[in-house]
Amino acid sequence: MNEMQTKLNELKVRLEEVKALNNAQAVLSWDQSTQMPPGGGAARAKQLAVLAQLTQEKAIDPAIGRLLDALQKYGESLPYDSDDASLIRVARRDYERDVKVPAEFMARFSAHQAESYQAWTQARPANDFDRVSPLLEKTLDLSREFANYFPGYEHIADPLIDLSDYGMKVDSIRSLFKELRARMVPIVKAITSQPVADDNCLKQSFPEAEQIAFGRKVVERLGFDFQRGRQDMSPHPFTTSFSVGDVRITTRVQERDLGDCLFSIIHESGHGMYEQGVDPAYDGTPLMGGTSSGVHESQSRLWENVVGRSRGFWEYFYPELQKTFLNLQKVSLDTFYRAINKVERSLIRTDADEVTYNLHVMMRFDFELQLLEGKLEVQDLPEAWRERFRSDLGLVPPDHKNGVLQDVHWFSGFVGGAFQGYTLGNLLGAQFYAAALKAHPEIPAEMKQGRFNRLHIWLKENLYRHGRKYTAAELVQKATGSGITIDPYIAYLQTKYATLYKL
């Protein structure tokens, strides 16, 4: 075996140890959110902190740096998309980011994060912004400090955006959002000036166990593999994975809201199918997992909205849904279809429909930038929030819990980089779907017959199997033949909503 192979193998062993520690933390976090009794909290926090420190130490071990240096030329001599070149490239990017941030900072930040999250869980129901505002100020300081470990940025939010959407910059996101906003606002205005769709059919009594069972049946049909995954309950649905063969999704259920459980299962199964679709050869390596939060969210939104809220999808599933829930038997497919695609100006981002959703995201993105730039003070945030809501959505939040305190993000992570992925996901979901349709125009007809395999295989081939091999920009280019663009998303909304409203 030549010297480079020996070094590469040594690198792989070290990186796989880091990934194993990461995955072990993910198991403990999953357990904490789904199974753990409240009494386990303190011990779990300790276990997670120890593992986080061990992981960080292993990840920034100078031996990894030396191996990466020694392998640099060799990696560049291999074809760009070969597995080994990609592993070396992605590992170097991760390593260079991790070594720049002192372990002492990470410990300080994670202690603050725990305190701030804890305070938020009490402040939100109590509607008490003052309780968390000093903590949010500190989060903002820590976010700036983090960014400043990466000197040379164009905008202070860029290093924070890099954490979730590597390669995206404030500048490019701003211009994308500006164009999107200009084209969305007339659509939102046209729809919301018409009578609101009646969704009472979704607000009847639906036994919880049957909702969960139905959701499971749906996502199994879409292609989520329960031999390599499972579904549990949690107050906030999420997806996590410990290996390509073990991907966990969670859901929640409300007896009088049929849409909540059903669409959150479909949403999470989109994230889950992405994780399950990564090339098994990358399992346990830095190439495992999704490439960015925008691309990840594109898969949850594609399956949830583009597929799961389409008429064709329900032509297949609605008769089965009516058999499961007899109180839908007198509700026509048209009524049901309008109900699940109800558009209205609303206060809460996570409940927003797919038409108004991006307005919620864009306002948070702008606030993050203004806070980081020092143009907006934390104490002025509630008023800024009310003002922006009034101008964008014509609504004024009656209190903080339905306003500035609604999202967990700024109380459990950095200010900066937390929200853009949701809107990038909406745009990319439509762009990927359009590319899949171009390759296989028969997809919609097959969906009406309950066949989703062709779409799933296209996504696996073009996106999922690559894991983190390509950056989001490279992946979008390869899969769709162009950079990220808003046209497919606008075309999708216009076509779909023209059948539901006068546009």
Residues engaged in binding Zn ion (CB under 5 A): 300
C-beta of 304: minimal distance to Zn ion in Å? 8
3-class secondary structure for 219-275?
A: HHHHCCCCCCEEEEECCCCCEEEEECCEEEEEECCECCEHHHHHHHHHHHHHHHHHH
- Number of other residues whose CB lies within 10 A of the CB of residue 80: 12
3-state helix, strand, coil in the chain (%, to 5): 70, 5, 30
Q: In what order do the strands lie in the sheet with 239-243?
A: 229-233, 246-251, 239-243
C-beta of 482: minimal distance to Zn ion in Å? 24
Give 116's contacts (C-beta < 8 A, 6+ positions apart). 132, 135, 136, 138, 139, 411, 412
Query: Given the DSSP bridges, would you call strands 246-251 and 239-243 parallel, antiparallel or unpaired?
Result: antiparallel
Strand-pair partners of 240: 248
C-beta of 271: minimal distance to Zn ion in Å? 6
Q: Report the residue number, 300 or 341, with the smaller CB distance to Zn ion.
A: 300
C-beta of 267: minimal distance to Zn ion in Å? 6
C-beta of 210: minimal distance to Zn ion in Å? 25
Q: Report the residue number, 223 or 429, with the smaller CB distance to Zn ion.
A: 429
Asked if 348 and 342 count as a contact pair (C-beta separation under 8 A), the reply is no
SS3 360: helix
Q: Report the residue number, 269 or 300, with the smaller CB distance to Zn ion.
A: 300
Q: Report the residue number, 243 or 300, with the smaller CB distance to Zn ion.
A: 300
C-beta of 329: minimal distance to Zn ion in Å? 33
CA-CA distance, 311 to 110, in Å (whole number)?
45
Neighbouring C-alpha atoms within 13 Å toward the C-beta of 462? 20
Q: Report the residue number, 22 or 164, with the smaller CB distance to Zn ion.
A: 164
Strand-pair partners of 233: 251
Asked if 443 and 456 count as a contact pair (C-beta separation under 8 A), the reply is no
Asked if 471 and 291 count as a contact pair (C-beta separation under 8 A), the reply is yes
**Amino acid identity, residue 174?**
R
Asked if 213 and 260 count as a contact pair (C-beta separation under 8 A), the reply is no
Q: Name the burial class of residue 145, with classes exposed (0-12), middle (13-18) and buried (19+) by CB atoms within 10 angstroms of its CB.
A: middle
Asked if 298 and 429 count as a contact pair (C-beta separation under 8 A), the reply is yes
Q: Report the residue number, 86 or 300, with the smaller CB distance to Zn ion.
A: 300
145 catalytic per annotation: no
Q: Measured at the alpha carbon of residue 409, what is the angle toward residues 361 and 18, in degrees to the nearest 5?
A: 120
Mark 306-330 as b/e (b = at least 16 C-beta within 10 Å).
bbbbbbbbbebbbeebbeebeebee
Nearest to 148 by CA among 133, 135, 163, 159: 159
C-beta of 277: minimal distance to Zn ion in Å? 16
C-beta of 68: minimal distance to Zn ion in Å? 32
Q: Report the residue number, 168 or 328, with the smaller CB distance to Zn ion.
A: 168
Query: Which residue's Cβ lies closest to Zn ion?
Result: 300
Q: Measured at the alpha carbon of residue 55, what is the angle toward residues 54 and 58, in degrees to the nearest 5?
A: 85
CA-CA distance, 160 to 167, in Å (whole number)?
11
Catalytic residue, candidates 16, 268, 383, 474: 268
Q: Report the residue number, 155 or 248, with the smaller CB distance to Zn ion.
A: 248
Task: Write phi, then psi, for 158 (nearest 5 degrees).
Answer: -55, -45
Q: Report the residue number, 147 or 459, with the smaller CB distance to Zn ion.
A: 459
CA-CA distance, 497 to 188, in Å (whole number)?
10
Token readout for 392 is: 């964008």
Q: Report the residue number, 60 or 218, with the smaller CB distance to Zn ion.
A: 218
Active site residues: 268
